[in-house]
Amino acid sequence: MPAPRDRHLREMANCIRFLSMDAVQQAKSGHPGAPMGMADIAAVLFRDFMQFDAAEPHWIDRDRFILSNGHGSMLLYSLLYLTGYKDMPVEELKRFRQVGSKTPGHPEYHHADGIELTTGPLGQGVAEAVGMALAERIMNAQFGNNLVNHYTYVFMGDGCLMEGISQEAISLAGHLKLGRLIAFWDNNSISIDGATSLAVSDNEVERFRASGWHVLEIDGHDTDAIREAIVTARSVTDKPSMIACRTVIGFGFPTKAGTQKAHSDAPGEEEIAGARAILGWNAPPFVIPEDLLAEWRTIGARGASTREAWVERVKQAPEKLRQEFERRNEGKLPEDWRSAIAAAREEFVRDGKELATRQASGAVLNHLFDAIPELLGGSADLTPSNNTRAKNQVEVKPGEYNGSYIHYGVREHGMAAAMNGIALHGGLIPYGGTFLCFSDYCRPAIRLAAMMDIRTIFVMTHDSIGLGEDGPTHQPVEHLSALRAIPRLAVFRPGDAVETAECWEAVLDNPRRAALLALSRQPMPLLRQESSTENRSARGGYVLLEAEGGPRKLTLMATGSELHLAVEARTVLQNEGVPTAVVSMPCALIFNEQDAAYQRAVLGDTLARVAVEAAVQMSWDRYLGLQGRFVGMHGFGESGKIGDVYKKFDITAEAVVRAARDSLRAV
């Protein structure tokens, strides 16, 4: 092992190393290699640079620390314990990877203070860090250095950089010149299979330089070099910085250091005993010498004076600026924001036009943007198609952050993950658009947004075979069911302009829920023409048209651009003497959360039911039962004019009528 230049810092780093190896050994699983290899970097960063206060973990102007290589979670858990976070006592380290612990195998947001976001799927943390750094710059531009002025630090491994999302993220960060983003690459040349040379020959240093980053190369165990590199990186204001740290995975292990066996294997008692001898560590498992623990706790408390000075600056800020800053950071919407929804609804009803729901969404955003200044929009190079830019929005440009609209480029996955970082930073509400079929490219980040219960808003247009000529590659068929299968993700598919406004209201109403809006390319009639401002979509499903002429015998269910087909079919069936109700189901997740009495009232007692949606059947089965019938897609789409495509796949009002008759016969 190389001799340390700063023996005391090596001892502080060893606190991380031995807590990590002890926890992994007790759990009989885990990833000790990264925590042991990156411990020296973490010790320097936290001792000499990190701005935080362990007693007030949600202080908005704290530096953000993200562990993108989340399999090395014991590094983060060790830091939280050492610096004195109240909900990370040593007992939680002893419960590493156990059910109900605050120390799962990968860091999870909400499990413990100090865990800024959920990481584990490699590369997500890199992209989320880009979002956090971007949010910091935008908030800084809006509120000034006195209120927002902090850094985002991210640790990332070889695997993070192999994942494609990393290129999307680093390209975006370099383009936007995010100078307060500093990334540390754990360059240990080892992966689970063995040497990274088995699969990778990239020159990562030149890759980052080509993407507009400032790059330094250092020995990741030389604490003086680490410190000098961070000082240099912090002095570069017009580029993000990547510090390539040459490290030894499993640093300190006598036989496994520098090998794949250090990556994810429990080390074994003999290996730990050898590490204790090599590193001169005499304390028993999970015990930190008092002098070292006291120094770490001092680091955790050191930021209190900085935070208190910041609190005073907030108090001294101009009243209007201070009130807006505090409102945003508390996650509260402006008091009169619903008037924007009401204005949009009134506009739709007054005009009575056929509108694609993507157009309706754009019209809603025109009203919302003036009412909710923290909305931060964007699109993955589809702004005119997604209708995501409000008329008064100003673009965020490289080095110019006093805007509210981001051109993410053709980087759907990077956009989705960056939006998660923006949402987690606080003070901004991100939404971003692409085509629904490209939700496949965004899915890992969408899943994490749902898992973290954060208000990231995914605006997905061109939501069915209704995009016509672009053909089956761009026509989402299975996507609605696949997205509805993600727990806690609210998938909204409005059926007309008024429902679109209602869905936006429902999305914004819930600060702890990820949401996706599936919007049409093709126009559809205005079905909701009442003047009432009641949000009927807020309960997920409702009776659009009740049965007439007797007790309900049939229920037709639909969403989006197929809702009007159900209405047309109902007219035919009512004329045939079949009392038929039409149920609009803009959000199945929310409908499923309603009480049983409400669900029964909406769906009706009849078993004769038909669902119509230009997608696969899967997410409708729970409502249809054995006697129900489905009108929709059973394969992929086809290129052609919209009307011709719908006719080819027999998604028509006539098909709904036939399915209804069949269901009635089956009851």
Active site residues: 412
Q: Are strands 609-613 and 629-632 parallel, antiparallel or unpaired?
A: parallel
User: What distance in Å separates the CA atoms of residue 597 and residue 605, rounded to the nearest whole number?
Assistant: 11
- SS3 annotation, 285-350: CCCCCHHHHHHHHHHHHHHHHHHHHHHHHHHHCCHHHHHHHHHHHCCCCCCCCHHHHHHHHHHHHH
The count of C-alpha atoms lying within 13 angstroms of the C-alpha of 230, restricted to the half-sphere facing its C-beta, is 21
Burial 392-401 (b: 16+ CB within 10 A, else e): ebeebeeeeb
Answer yes or no: are the C-beta atoms of 414 and 165 closer than 8 Å: yes
Of 498, 487, 461, give the one whose Cα is nearest residue 476: 461
**Six-digit token pair at 168?**
């999307």
**Residue 243 β-bridge partners:** 184, 216
Contacts of 624 (CB under 8 A, 6+ apart): 609, 611, 617, 630
Contacts of 315 (CB under 8 A, 6+ apart): 322
**Spatial strand order in the sheet of 429-435:** 405-407, 375-379, 429-435, 457-461, 515-518, 490-492
User: What distance in Å separates the CA atoms of residue 438 and residue 424, rounded to the nearest whole number?
Assistant: 23
User: What distance in Å separates the CA atoms of residue 435 and residue 516, rounded to the nearest whole number?
Assistant: 12
DSSP 192: S
Answer yes or no: are the C-beta atoms of 96 and 103 closer than 8 Å: yes
Burial 219-233 (b: 16+ CB within 10 A, else e): bbbbbebbbebbeeb
Contacts of 290 (CB under 8 A, 6+ apart): none
DSSP, collapsed to helix, strand or coil, labels residue 524 as: strand
Q: Residue 483 is inside which H or E element, if any?
A: helix 479-484
Query: Which residue has tokens 């204005």?
Result: 343
Answer yes or no: are the C-beta atoms of 560 and 463 closer than 8 Å: yes
What is the chain's Cα-based Rg? Answer: 28
Is 476 exposed, middle or buried, given 0-12, 13-18 or 19+ CB atoms closer than 10 A?
A: buried
Burial 148-175 (b: 16+ CB within 10 A, else e): bebbbbbbbbbbbbbbebbbbbbbbbbe
Amino acid at 80: L
Of 243, 282, 273, give the one whose Cα is nearest residue 255: 273
Measured in whole angstroms, the distance separating CA 297 from the mean position of its chain's CA atoms is 32
Amino acid at 275: A
